[in-house]
Amino acid sequence: MRTKGTQATGEFSLIDLFLSHFPRARVPVGPGDDCAVLAPSKGAQCITTDAVVEDVHFKRAWFSPEDIGHKALAVNLSDLASMGAIPRWFVCALALPRDFPRRELAGIARGMSALAREHTIALVGGNFTSARELSITLTVAGELLPGTAPITRAGGRPGDVLYISGTLGDARLGLQQLLSGVRRSTAILRQKRPVPRVGLGRLAARFVSAGLDVSDGLAQDLGHLCTASRVSAELELERLPLSRAVRAALGTEGALAGGEDYELLLAVPPERTPAFERACLRGEVPVTRIGRLTRGEPGHIRDASGRSLRLPAGFDHFRGGRRIDRSGREG
């Protein structure tokens, strides 16, 4: 963990403060040198990088530092989950406004560290720099069990059954509630503290033909899966798993537009669905069958009656003016 662009002596103690919340990484060379040094991996490695930026992905007025630290790691772990990978290590690049309070930095570290411990992933290095707004960019690595193929978006085949984990739309509803002045609700917790489906991803890797994590809304992400797999899809809208609050406030279409669900969308060949469902039951991971992949125009999605679904694009972010309309244009 080093500074560049923030060479004041004081900054080094910020680094020590941040690191002190994490267990010492068991690697040949950890934080403190120019690079971390890691032993060769046994299985294939899955790598992802993702950032959370102040006023885009969170507001400091509404998110505790612990929430921010949690979310920064959770969105990355969700990408590992979607490939079926076992979390291994990550590096953390922090951009901090000048005079960022030490107690808030400690809070970010605590939120991140708690989730890291839960998933046994080691912080091996990082970087601090100054910036106008707070942002956290993580690069996270997972490993596939030797001999296991990663879950990708491209393997889906017509006839495969579609499953979604958890419920949809809650994080979007939470965002709307925050914007309207509500400060506490189950949906707001989903917005602030997404739960990466790491266990489900590892379990699913043995059964699925394709999958991804739903971060841009089910409609859009199902479109990505279908495009990559060169198939169409049929969604049974009445089967979508929605909380009562989401059903009342957003309805099916709002839940489809979702955003930041971080649930896994999985395509399972029909002959494997009984074993997959049994494994999910044993693992106590809630999944719901919501449709199937079909032949047809790649990326095209219909409901059970055959009606084309218009894809709602994206979702509202915190920053004013980032609202994206149904045609995909920013408004």
The verdict on whether residue 153 carries a ligand-binding annotation is yes
216 binds a copy of itself (CB under 8 A): yes
CB of 311 to a copy of itself, least distance (A): 10
Distance CA 304, CA 292 (A): 10
Distance CA 49, CA 46 (A): 10
132 binds a copy of itself (CB under 8 A): yes
Distance, first Cα to last Cα, the chain = 40
Q: Which is nearer to a copy of itself, 137 or 243 (CB)?
A: 137
If you ran DSSP here, which 8-state letter would residue 178 be given? H
Q: Which is nearer to a copy of itself, 57 or 190 (CB)?
A: 57
| Cα 331 versus chain centre, distance | 25
CA-based diameter of the chain, in Å? 66
Looking at 44, 145, 189, 285, which residue binds a copy of itself (CB under 8 A)? 44
Site string for a copy of itself, 148-187 (x = CB under 8 A): --x-xxx---------------------------------
Q: Which residue has the tokens 């040094």?
A: 37
Looking at 135, 165, 232, 243, which residue binds a copy of itself (CB under 8 A)? 135
Q: Which is nearer to a copy of itself, 40 or 306 (CB)?
A: 40
Q: Which is nearer to a copy of itself, 75 or 293 (CB)?
A: 75
The verdict on whether residue 320 carries a ligand-binding annotation is no
Q: Which among 63-71, 146-154, 237-245, 270-278 is the span making contact with a copy of itself, rule CB under 8 A?
A: 146-154
Distance CA 159, CA 179 (A): 41
- Residues 250-279 touching a copy of itself, rule: CB under 8 A, are 259
Distance CA 229, CA 212 (A): 12
CB of 161 to a copy of itself, least distance (A): 20
- Residues 50-69 touching a copy of itself, rule: CB under 8 A, are 50-51, 53, 55-57
The verdict on whether residue 99 carries a ligand-binding annotation is no
- Residues 89-108 touching a copy of itself, rule: CB under 8 A, are 89, 91-93, 95, 98
Neighbours of 309 (CB within 10 A): 19
Q: Which among 18-26, 247-255, 273-281, 311-319 is the span making contact with a copy of itself, rule CB under 8 A?
A: 311-319
- Residues 70-89 touching a copy of itself, rule: CB under 8 A, are 75, 79-80, 82-83, 85, 89
Element (H, E) at 162: strand 161-165
The verdict on whether residue 57 carries a ligand-binding annotation is yes
Contacts of 202 (CB under 8 A, 6+ apart): 81, 84, 85, 86
Distance CA 151, CA 80 (A): 10
Distance CA 234, CA 162 (A): 9
The pair of structure tokens assigned to 26 is 């068991």
Site string for a copy of itself, 3-42 (x = CB under 8 A): -xx-xxxx-----------------xx--xxxxxxxxxxx
The verdict on whether residue 315 carries a ligand-binding annotation is yes
The pair of structure tokens assigned to 57 is 């992905």
List strands edge to edge, sheet with 161-165: 210-214, 263-268, 161-165, 287-294, 232-235, 301-303
133 binds a copy of itself (CB under 8 A): yes
Picking from 209, 202, 197, the residue whose alpha carbon sits closest to that of residue 272 is: 209
# of chain residues touching a copy of itself (CB under 8 A)? 80
The verdict on whether residue 190 carries a ligand-binding annotation is no
Contacts of 327 (CB under 8 A, 6+ apart): 313
Q: Which residues are annotated as a binding site for substrate?
A: 57, 260, 315
